[in-house]
Amino acid sequence: MRSAVNQANQAFTGAQNTAGNEGGQASSIEGNLTPFYTEEMLHPQGYGQQDLSAQTAAAEGGAGGAASAFTGQAAQRAGVSRNAGGFQAALSENSRNAARGAAQSAEQIAANNADLKQKQIQQGAEGLSGLHKTDTSAMLEAMGQEAPDINSEVNAGNSGWLQNTMGILNSLSGGASAASKFLK
């Protein structure tokens, strides 16, 4: 029976050690992730400047290329027809359309960047929330095992040659007491 007590004691110690280890690992992981999620939540970065520049260049490049092609075609037609003034209205409209297209693209890029920042704020908040739930669950589970281990240790200590002898003596004492009442 002493081995049962020792096993229960070892289980209790193991549960305590596991809880301590899980708590330490959670603190270590949280030490890295908490600042990241907090930064993401409070100061979202959106697209980097290089990405924003590339998107803007691509959008404006398309509009500029189309405008240039139209301007080149108009110049060629003006040269063939010898009427340079006949394309001024079309060139002006083309220029306005190119500027309008570039402005719309810039607005869309800015809106996409703002949306990304909002998503990063939400991801930061969700990440912090998830850390709290994950960090504590394994530690609390191990700590919750301690009470059953203590109960196992106590129950294992309730048996053995001394406890069995005491149980027999108590039974005999109770039986003798009942017999004496019966004899009176």
- pTM score, whole prediction: 0.49
Rounded to the nearest 10 degrees, what angle do helices 88-144 and 49-81 cross at? 160
Percent over 70 (pLDDT), the chain: 59
pLDDT in tens, 109-135: 899 999 999 999 888 888 888 876 665
Three-state secondary-structure class, residue 153: helix
Q: Per residue of the chain (184 residues), give pLDDT as tens.
A: 566 667 767 777 877 787 777 777 777 777 778 888 888 888 888 888 898 888 888 877 766 666 777 777 777 777 677 776 667 766 677 777 777 888 888 889 899 999 999 999 888 888 888 876 665 666 666 666 666 666 666 666 666 666 566 666 667 666 555 555 655 5
* Cα distances (Å, whole numbers) of residue 178 to 62, 83, 168: 107, 134, 15
Give residue 36's pLDDT: 85
Give residue 55's pLDDT: 87
Give residue 147's pLDDT: 65
* Domain segments of the chain as ranges: 2-183
